[in-house]
Amino acid sequence: MVRKMADTGSKSWAATVLTLYPDMFPGTLGQSLAGKALHDKIWALETVDIRDFARDKHRNVDDTPAGGGAGMVMRADVVGNAIDHVYGAKVSGDDPDKMDKRPLIYLSPRGKPLTQARVRALSDGPGVVLLCGRFEGVDERVLEARQVEEISLGDYILSGGEPAALTLLDAVVRVLPGVMGKQASGEDESFETGLLEYPHYTRPAIWEEQEIPAVLTSGNHKKVAEWRQAQSEELTRARRPDLWEKFRKESRQTD
Ligand code: SAH
């Protein structure tokens, strides 16, 4: 069953999620920024229940791993049919304009780690089709035959692709035009500049005998900007030597 969380207007950025747990959606994406944007049709979300594409009488979606070992593997035929259903639905004749050009991404710990640059690139496209794994993962043949791109959230193992899909969509939706109140607020965030973000403060002016750094209440915008830049650089150097190295290399090139 294909369930639309909001009408897929042709102009909206469109996400289709292939999952064994459609009830996990929209989940966190139904609230706050993403939820409002979904309601406002800035983006559209539909789920496809992979189990609907199981053809045997027990509706099996998984089977034991070839070669033995623990766990179960999602079947290539079932997953392949679910994928083809999604892409087939939008293809009408040979008209290239009617083709579904959205990338097909399998959330997987073997994938390329998700970055803010990839998030931005996805937000610039027409949308995404996400495949959520369960058990030990998906039969390799379907990943190859359907040219699936693999993306990882990080070097740890989740119980399924759904929380990863929710996270990826959260990151992409927040940078879609019109989602953040002030578009600028996304631009000096951690990673957008290649550096971690500087620390934030707000009222009260004194809390547990601690004051806000004086420069921030000085009214001198140039000094504030310099202080923030220095803090960003210091934090990145101390916490993320990998990012710091990259930042230094890139700023040397532009000098
Ligand atoms: N046996 C696999 C892990 C399977 S976990 C391995 O060792 O590589 C089950 C599913 O959770 C995966 O198919 C994938 O869709 C999802 N998943 C687990 N960890 C993930 C991560 N770090 N990033 C994205 N998806 C992940």
Provide the terminal-to-terminal Cα distance of the chain, rounded to the nearest Å. 56
Residue 107, ligand 1, Cβ within 6 A: yes
pLDDT tens-digit readout, 158-174: 999 999 999 999 999 99
Distances 98 to 40, 88, 89, 94 between C-alpha atoms, Å: 24, 11, 10, 8
How far apart, in whole angstroms, are the C-alpha atoms of residue 47 and residue 19?
7
Residue nearest to atom 7 of ligand 1 (CA): 136
193 C-alpha to ligand 1 centroid (Å): 29
How far apart, in whole angstroms, are the C-alpha atoms of residue 161 and residue 84?
19
Residue 113, ligand 1, Cβ within 6 A: no
Residue 54, ligand 1, Cβ within 6 A: no
How far apart, in whole angstroms, are the C-alpha atoms of residue 37 and residue 43?
6
pTM over 0.85? The answer is yes
What sign does the dihedral 16-3-42-165 (CA atoms) show? negative
Tens of pLDDT along the chain (255 residues) come to: 788 876 555 579 999 999 999 999 999 999 999 999 999 999 999 999 999 999 989 999 999 999 999 999 999 999 999 999 999 975 556 677 778 999 999 999 999 999 999 999 999 999 999 999 999 999 999 999 999 999 999 999 999 999 999 999 999 999 999 999 865 556 777 888 899 999 999 999 999 999 999 999 999 999 999 999 999 999 999 999 999 999 999 998 876
To test the pocket of ligand 1, the residue of 157, 162, 166 to mutate (highest count of ligand atoms within 8 Å of its CB) is 157
Residue 163, ligand 1, Cβ within 6 A: no
158 C-alpha to ligand 1 centroid (Å): 6
Strand pairing of 127-132 and 73-74?
Answer: unpaired
Cα angle 214, 234, 172; round to 5: 100
Residue nearest to atom 22 of ligand 1 (CA): 109
Residue 158, ligand 1, Cβ within 6 A: yes
Question: DSSP letters along 90-114, please?
Answer: H--TT-GGGS--PPEEEEEEEEEEP
Residue 112, ligand 1, Cβ within 6 A: no
Residue 134, ligand 1, Cβ within 6 A: yes
Residue nearest to atom 26 of ligand 1 (CA): 108
- Spatial contact of 107 and 132, defined as CB atoms under 8 Å apart: yes
